[in-house]
Amino acid sequence: MATKSHARLNRQFDRLQKRIPQAAARLLERIRQPGARLIRIPLGILLVFGGIFSFLPVLGIWMLPLGLLLLAIDIVYLRGPVNTAIVRGTRKWSTWSRARRDKKAASNQP
């Protein structure tokens, strides 16, 4: 089961890397390496902590899922919930953006 969730998490990271700018994708690739664990765990904790305080300037709610995603690489118990959240969030986002696009197209028709 751990291998299945790890493979799914890797697919989610690959999908994310295709959507972000190339410089950020290279940084993410380095952080995903097994030797970067000493950087990845503290960075993940800082991002989660920053996401909790998203009401402050500069910090944002975007930090929370990114931190959890980084922590899920090393913490097996987080992989399942993070994978589920990513898949569900992606589906909701696709549904919402498709409905928004269809609504916009319908309003542009004479």
Three-state SS across 61-99? CCHHHHHHHHHHHHCHHHHHHHHHHHHHHHHHHHHHHHH
CB 33 within 8 A of CB 25: no
pLDDT at 46: 93
pLDDT at 26: 92
Tens-binned pLDDT, residue by residue, of the chain (110 aa): 557 888 888 888 888 888 888 998 899 899 989 899 999 999 999 999 988 887 777 778 888 888 998 999 999 899 889 888 888 988 888 898 888 888 777 777 66
